[in-house]
Each structure stands twice: as C-alpha cells, then as structure tokens.
C-alpha cells in the first residue's frame, strides 16, 4: 500500500506545494492592492472635482449676494425718491398709485427717471 502522506504520490494530481501557494497568495494580494490603488486614485479625482465645484458655487453665491445688495440699495433709494417727490410722479393709471404684486409694493416710474443719476 501507498503512504498517503508521501508528496510524490499526489504530485501528479496538481496539489500545490507550499511555495506555489505562497506565490499564488502574493499574486492575489498584489492584484487587490492594485485595485485599491486604482479606487483611491479615482476617489481623489472625484474629491478634487467636488472641491472645484464647491468653489465655483461659493463664488457664484458671493457674486449674487453683491448683486442682491446693490439691487436692494437701488430699490430703497427709488422708494425714498418716489415718496420724497410725489408731485413729479404721475401714475400711469388712477389705480396704479400703489401696486401690490406678490406682497411687494411697487410704484410706476416716470419715463425720464434714471436711478443712476
């Protein structure tokens, strides 16, 4: 009878040696490492892209805030001018003395009015 623990008996059946198993394990670990490195590189690119998008959004928000502040100043000035000069202001229609649109009080503006003067 043959001794089952004799490696020569199983060599023809494809049972790997310890060295072959270690080499296979190294190949698997290298492959997993490469996949993780690729995923990390892609994640860093995504993060960089998101940071750039956030910066653009912040810039747009700042620019729009400045525009809102400027428009608010102009509306306040115009409202004060209209209240201070009621005689110069003639409504286009008798019911247009004060128009409310969506809760905002609006006044018609004289044709020769320039808010930038």
Structure tokens at 13: 């059946």
DSSP output for the chain: ---TT-HHHHGGGTPPPHHHHHHHHHHHHHHHHHHHHHHHHHHHHHHHHHHHHHHHHHHHHHHHHHHHHHHHHHHHHHHHHHHH-TTT---SSGGGSSEEETTEEE----TT--TT-
Tell me the range of 37-46, 74-83, 107-116 where mean pLDDT is highest: 37-46
Do 80 and 107 touch, CB atoms closer than 8 A? no
pTM of the model as a whole? 0.49
Q: Give mean pLDDT, residues 36-53.
A: 97
Percent of the chain with pLDDT over 70: 62
């Amino acid at each position: 009878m043959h001794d089952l623990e004799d490696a020569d008996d199983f060599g023809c059946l494809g049972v790997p040696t310890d060295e072959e198993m270690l080499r296979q394990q190294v190949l698997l670990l290298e492959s997993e490492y490469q996949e993780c490195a690729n995923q990390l590189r892609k994640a860093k690119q995504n993060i960089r892209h998101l940071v750039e998008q956030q910066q653009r959004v912040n810039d747009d928000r700042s620019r729009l805030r400045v525009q809102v502040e400027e428009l608010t100043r102009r509306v306040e000035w115009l409202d004060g001018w209209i209240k201070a000069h009621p005689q110069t202001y003639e409504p286009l229609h008798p019911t247009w003395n004060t128009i409310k649109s969506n809760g905002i009080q609006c006044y018609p503006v004289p044709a020769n009015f320039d808010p930038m003067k």
